[in-house]
Amino acid sequence: MQKLVVYDSQYGNTQKIAEVIAGVIGAKAVNYQNFDPAALKNTGLLIVGSPTQGGRATAGLQAVLDSIPAEGLRGIKFAVFDTRFLESEQNFALKLLLKTIGYAASKISVFLKSKGGEEVVPPEGFIVKEKSGPLADGEPERAKKWAESFRN
């Protein structure tokens, strides 16, 4: 069974994390625009990553995930990550907003479970310094360790 990493990336940060994870687990990293849900038939492990936008996944990635049929992830293990701001480094208003709307990874996780998928690790967030990046220091290394926790 293949391992597959599907992601969206607005500024390249989520793509960098996706590629690190793909390298660790021996998977192919695919932008959601090039993802065919039919590929799930041969997939044993699916990793999904998105930048957090308005507390959720990007509209394009979510539309592709929506196209997965009910129970389309039955028998498939998955893990989810997002890229996000570090809440503690934001001003009061943004901290309050982030607490209210949350992050993409947890919402994607709930959605994939509703399609029959089996989560292998809790959702993870990787930190970007600004909206367009770069990734915070040490995040690629942290992504590598996260991926090592479920590579087998």
Cα 90 to Cα 43: distance, rounded to the nearest angstrom: 39
| Total number of domains constituting the chain | 1
The CATH number of whichever domain residue 20 belongs to comes to 3.40.50.360
Cα 58 to Cα 68: distance, rounded to the nearest angstrom: 16
Of residues 83 and 85, more confidence is placed in 83
CA distances from 116 to 38, 72, 73, 76, 129 (A): 16, 7, 5, 8, 34
pLDDT in tens, 2-57: 999 999 999 999 999 999 999 999 999 999 999 999 999 999 999 999 999 888 99
Q: Which domain holds residue 53?
A: 2-148
Kindly state the tokens that stand for 143.
């992504």
Considering Cα of 4, then 127, then 109, then 78, what sign does the dihedral take? Answer: positive
Question: Coil, helix or strand for 84?
Answer: strand
Place 85 in a pLDDT band, splitting at 50, 70 and 90: confident
Q: What is the pTM of this model?
A: 0.92
